[in-house]
Amino acid sequence: WESYFRDSCRVPCRRCQRVWTSEWDSHGIAPRAHVAMYKACAVSCYDGDLLAAIDAAIDDGVDLLSISIGPESPFPFYYDVIALGAFRAIQKGIFVSCSAGNDGPYPSTVTNDAPWILTVGASTIDREIRATVKLGNNVELHGQSLFQPKDFHPRQPLPIVHPAAISNNESAAVCEKGSLKNIDVKGKIVICHMGQLRIEDKGKEVKDNGGAAMIVFNEQDDGYTTLATANVLPASHISYKDGLVLKNYLISTQSPTATISFQGTLIGKSQPAPQMASFSSRGPSTQSRGILKPDIVGPGTSMSCPHLSGVAALIKSAHPDWSPAAIKSAILTTAYTADLNGNPISTEQNVSATVFDRGSGHVHTLRALNPGLVYDIEPDDYIPYLCGLGYSEQQVRYIVQRKVNCSTPTLIPGAQLNYPTFSMVLGAGDQMTYTRTVTNVGRPFSTYISKVLSPQGVAVKVMPSVIRFKDLNDKASYTVTFTRLENVTRSSIIGQGSLVWNSIGDDGYKVVSTIAVVFV
């Protein structure tokens, strides 16, 4: 590792600091899991430090790695330190989950997209930590704030100041450090545009200049995603739509006022849920179009990855002999794609999310523990896949840490990997056939029947359409042929669907493989 990355490390690799605790938080996903924390980053993350942290964890014999860190942009896997370290981990049977990134909602921003990593996007849940803005015209706007002061009870509504309407300086609009020193904000509620600056930093600038409170409203791209942050003063983060209401109020009166009240944690009030978080990075993957990324979504920001790591820990505990790929398969094929109201999971704009937004869907913990069938992959199975990406033998060797032969007969396209989802690019007249092998982990003497929801403009044929198993751990293979149909009007350059294997009998297994298509 260090010989390869010596030139890219700006500081010498430091041995990682470990902090051991006896148990996970008692309210976590896997409450009896033991946790080891490896300090890999301080102000910045360096390649050598990340690899050292991963290697230390592997040497310590961990069962899972949860990494809420990622590069600023996607890299080829042979130059991606997390992908390299994660491959060594899965060679040792260690499951690896990583955050998809925080560069959404823009397409092809997903990182940590190697197929041996569980790539986790971020979604919301039906919980909010409410901070309600009441305008002078009695209109209420519900936002969020983790800071819930109990002593903020002004006798009168406070005057509102909107720096963006006073200064042409963009830094004042987003309340950057030093931008409010020449604006009278003392004793007032200050309105800050979201922009790229952390909400906590905006609040510090407001407080340092005597502001009494703060309202942060989204830009259009962030839509309905609001964050409960640890503010340094009374504050509320409101949606783009409510921000428009606020701005209309400001221009309707010469003396705008408001108050902010705090209601604490509310369950069931945040609808729709789950919903994609605006910042969650999106697919398609730029490094491997044959693999659907992100894989899955879970609640939280950087916490979405640890949530999925907790689910993986539960599966590992219930099935200690399962490989990392089998655990991932269980999570992906049992996910759900509808919100609590029964509608398709939506984006931050309140429109239906695509497979490149939410992957296979939102994690369903209980179903993942008993998936019925799994798609397994051994570490060496990735070699023909990597060769098929056009990597040289030397580049593949960087990843797998041994000599390989990338001769033509061993190459496979990305979508041929035994992955639990399907992802492909289809041009005019294209027809693609892929093989999958499933392992029975449900019940002996079981039968499954296929059901296909074809993407618009694509014909899908599964052979055979019925698979049978006599014993546990028996395997069965099938092929799927995707044919792009001619003269079919499509509403999007993206096609999405699913292949479902339904078990016959009372066990009720439903094994879902998401289908993603990009039309060119």
Q: Is the dihedral of CA 174, 178, 183, 186 positive or negative?
A: positive
Measure the CA–CA gap between 287 and 117, rounded to whole angstroms: 13
Q: Is the model's pLDDT at 500 over the cut of 70?
A: yes
* Max CA distance (Å), the chain: 79
Please say whether the beta carbons of 389 and 379 come within 8 A: no
Which residues, at least 6 apart from 26, have a Cβ–Cβ distance to it below 8 Å?
none
Whole-number pLDDT of residue 4: 32
Distances from the Cα of 156 to the Cα of 130, 138, 149, 258, angstroms = 21, 13, 17, 9
Give this prediction's pTM: 0.92
Q: Is the model's pLDDT at 47 over the cut of 90?
A: no
H runs (alpha helix) in 343-476:
355-358, 365-368, 382-388, 393-400
Measure the CA–CA gap between 53 and 13, rounded to whole angstroms: 10
Q: Is the model's pLDDT at 128 over the cut of 50?
A: yes
* Closest to 284 measured CA to CA, from 424, 118, 96: 424
Q: Is the model's pLDDT at 13 over the cut of 90?
A: no
Whole-number pLDDT of residue 8: 31
pLDDT above 70 as % of the chain: 93
Whole-number pLDDT of residue 396: 96
DSSP state, residue 222: G
Which residue did the predictor score with more confidence, 518 or 15? 518
pLDDT tens figures, 428-460: 889 999 999 999 999 999 999 999 999 999 999
The sheet with strand 296-299 has its strands ordered as 64-67, 95-99, 118-123, 296-299
Which of 20-34, 467-481, 483-497 is the least confident region?
Answer: 20-34
Whole-number pLDDT of residue 42: 61
Type of residue numbered 70:
G
Alpha carbon 161 to its chain centroid, in Å, reads 36
Alpha carbon 128 to its chain centroid, in Å, reads 19
pLDDT tens figures, 311-354: 999 999 999 999 999 999 999 999 999 999 999 999 999 999 99
Residue 389 pLDDT level (bands cut at 50, 70, 90) = very high
Q: Is the model's pLDDT at 409 over the cut of 70?
A: yes
Q: Is the model's pLDDT at 110 over the cut of 80?
A: yes
Measure the CA–CA gap between 305 and 68, rounded to whole angstroms: 6
Type of residue numbered 165:
A
Please say whether the beta carbons of 273 and 97 come within 8 A: no
Whole-number pLDDT of residue 19: 41
Question: φ and ψ at 351, to 5 degrees?
Answer: -115, 160
CA angle 160, 270, 107 (to 5 degrees): 90
Q: Is the model's pLDDT at 64 over the cut of 80?
A: yes
Whole-number pLDDT of residue 356: 98
**CA torsion, points 300, 301, 304, 305, in degrees to nearest 10?**
-160
* Closest to 277 measured CA to CA, from 294, 296, 300: 300
H runs (alpha helix) in 138-253:
163-166, 170-173, 199-208, 240-252
Whole-number pLDDT of residue 9: 30
Tokens of 312: 């993986």
H runs (alpha helix) in 209-323:
240-252, 304-318
pLDDT tens figures, 262-301: 999 999 888 899 999 999 999 999 999 999 999 999 998 8
pLDDT tens figures, 200-244: 999 999 999 999 999 999 999 999 999 999 999 999 999 999 999
Q: Is the model's pLDDT at 44 over the cut of 80?
A: no
Burial of 167 (0-12, 13-18, 19+ CB in 10 A): middle
Distances from the Cα of 30 to the Cα of 24, 309, 317, 318, angstroms = 7, 9, 10, 12
* Average pLDDT, integer, range 369-398: 96
Type of residue numbered 427:
G
Whole-number pLDDT of residue 470: 97
Whole-number pLDDT of residue 29: 86
* Closest to 374 measured CA to CA, from 330, 314, 317, 417: 330
Residue 169 pLDDT level (bands cut at 50, 70, 90) = confident
